[in-house]
Chain A
Amino acid sequence: MSLLRGIVHKYEKDNIDTDVIIPGPYLKIMDPDELAKHAMEGLDKDFVTKVKQGDFMVAGENFGCGSSREHAPIALKHAGITAVLALSFARIFYRNSVDGAHLLPIEVDREAYQNISDKDELKIDIEKGEVRNLTKNKIYKMKPFPELIKKIIDAGGLLNYTP
């Protein structure tokens, strides 16, 4: 989990909410691959066909605001997304992503956010706290995970973590 490599799908928007990540009518679906077919349907109909396994999303402030539906990080994960890089995250989305071990919510600063373009290739090194933009040959710092969050990520989710 500490080294990731993939292509960026950038949505230059703040407040991307869980209703667009996975719309309400699909909440009765529990099959993650079925959920993945509808990922980001409220914002980008082509998302699912564009994303390949291992890719990243980049977005602005307060990513994942709205409902507590864990279906949101699950749908993104099963669509292929392994990390979301955002200026900030809504707290439940962040918690669900980490505790459920679905994907990595990575906070980056505005400079990195503005510098990264759609379709850039990134390499993320969690241990070093580094995001390398292979397309632009740049290196950005990611905000380090708080101690407990890091431990839960390393354990593979909250249910595998022993306090």
Chain B
Amino acid sequence: MTITEKILARASGRDRVSPGDVVFAKVNKVMLHDVSGPGVMTVFNELEKKGRKIDRLWDPNSVWVAEDHFVPAVDKLAAQNIVLVQNFVKKFGISKHFKYGLGQYGICHTLSHEEALVLPGEVYVGGDSHTNTTGAVGAFATGMGHTDVAYVLLNGKIWFKVPETILFKIEGKISDYIMAKDIILNIIADHGTDVGNYKAMQFTGSAIRRMSMDERFTLTNMTTEAGAKNGIIEPDQTTIDYIKERTNEPFTPLVGDEDAKYADVFTYDVEKMEPVVAKPFSPANRAAVRELGNVPIDKAYIGSCTGAKYTDLLEAAKILKGKKVKVRTEILPAAQSIYMRALKEGLINIFLEAGVVVGPPTCGACCGAHMGVLAKDEVCVSTTNRNFPGRMGHVESKTYLASPKVVAASAVTGKITDPRDVR
């Protein structure tokens, strides 16, 4: 069995499962935020209208809540949703509530690893599609809608069709101008935005073994853009060290068997990889930066669960140090803990000196909700994960997806730029 199959077998109390089997698996952790949370509440309200009394969750200690999409509150409706979330947390005695303006908070998928809320070998369901991110710790992590999250909150389990696994072997030494973002954009472009539909996408190989956890999260994060049910990386010493630095909770990691069966195996040699972007309006619309021609930009954006982790900020700072940006540039660390570390290590200072606006953690502009959306015809180069029409603002704005290095280099020149071409 693959790691995904082994986790689902263990969680459903079976010796083994095969792709296509439908199982009801026990869920270890569940997440909701200020969009899926109010959705869950409408489901609960409907049930109560039908006469079902809901006064407790299956296990409030396995639930955690983020405020990320519409914080700082955009308007009265968003503010009201935050109040709803807060009341929900109180009513059901949920202890892990990462509240905006009260210590550690941030984008849900970033908190999931920063706070080690999900452990290797666990089953994790989140009310957000990029829940896949957390699979990089060796967990089965998948996103669902609010009906499914409500079901998990009440029952502690949910149905899954065991997915086939596609294995991506990432081999070779990663050059210092390449990031995990380039690798995943190449994979999505080569295989399409539905290659992972109903499947698990697993990453392995010598380049993965040398890769930091932050970079691994970029790969699993964007398995969502390939349609995958989950993204996953088998835990190794890097994983174990990362988790143990953050929690004392015990866990039992799993890895796949030697003779595990994969639906497909694709091998990538990263040595010759070039920095790339995904042009509008699809994450699969790849172009090498140096072959792109002259693409002037209006905005450079470093933010989101994909591209505002500590490593993302560090790599951007290396390029921005001692320089001035030529276009409006915004950097929003993905969690308060990352913001504080960046502050202590002088990165925030580098950004401010370069002329960048540094903002609070929020999903905000990534989903075109607030905190710097794009006007008609504006062009943005962004470390985020989606560039569908209207994703980051006006339906006629354009977003190029890129690594933090490409975005920082582009901020300095005012057009989309290969990091090797910034002196």
Contact = CB atoms under 8 A, between A and B. Distances in A.
Interface of A: 15, 17, 19-20, 23-25, 27-30, 42-43, 61-62, 65-71, 88, 90-92, 95-96, 99-100, 146-148, 157-159, 163
Sorted from nearest, which 7 A-B pairs have the closest CB atoms? Answer: A70-B145, A24-B367, A96-B145, A100-B147, A68-B129, A68-B143, A19-B388
Interface of B: 22, 24, 34-36, 38-39, 42-43, 47, 69-70, 74-75, 77-78, 81, 127-129, 131, 143-148, 150-151, 154, 159, 161, 193-194, 197-198, 227, 229, 282, 367-370, 386, 388-391, 395
Given A20-B390, A30-B38, A15 B145 contact: no
Nearest to A91: B198
Contacts of A65: 193-194, 227
A20 B78 contact: no
Contact of B70 (A28, A61, A71, A147): A28
Nearest to B282: A15
Contact of A69 (B77, B145, B197, B229): B145
A68 B151 contact: no
A62 B197 contact: yes
A28 B74 contact: yes
A96 B127 contact: no
Given A65-B227, A70-B36, 9 more contacts: A17-B388, A20-B389, A30-B42, A30-B81, A68-B127, A68-B129, A68-B143, A158-B151, A159-B154
B390 A42 contact: yes
Contacts of A99: 145, 147-148, 151
Contacts of B198: 91
Nearest to A73: B145
A146 B369 CA distance: 37
Most interface-central of A24, A43, A96, A157 (chain B CB within 10 A): A24
B129 A42 contact: no
Contacts of A69: 35, 129, 145
B369 A27 contact: yes
B145 A159 contact: no
Contacts, number: 128
A65 to B, nearest CB: 6
A96 B36 CA distance: 12
Contacts of A96: 144-145, 147-148
A29 B197 CA distance: 28
Contacts of B144: 68, 92, 95-96
Contacts of B78: 28
Given A20-B390, A23-B368, A88-B194, A29 B77 contact: yes
Contact of B194 (A15, A95, A148): A15
Nearest to A34: B77
Contacts of A90: 194, 197, 227
B386 A158 contact: no
B112 to A, nearest CB: 15
Contact of A92 (B22, B143, B368, B391): B143
B81 A28 contact: yes
Nearest to A148: B22
B159 A70 contact: no
A106 B127 CA distance: 24
A158 B127 contact: no
A88 to B, nearest CB: 7
B411 to A, nearest CB: 24
B227 A91 contact: yes
Contacts of B370: 25
Contacts of A163: 24, 159
Contacts of A25: 368-370
A24 B368 contact: yes
A19 B389 contact: yes
A29 B94 CA distance: 24
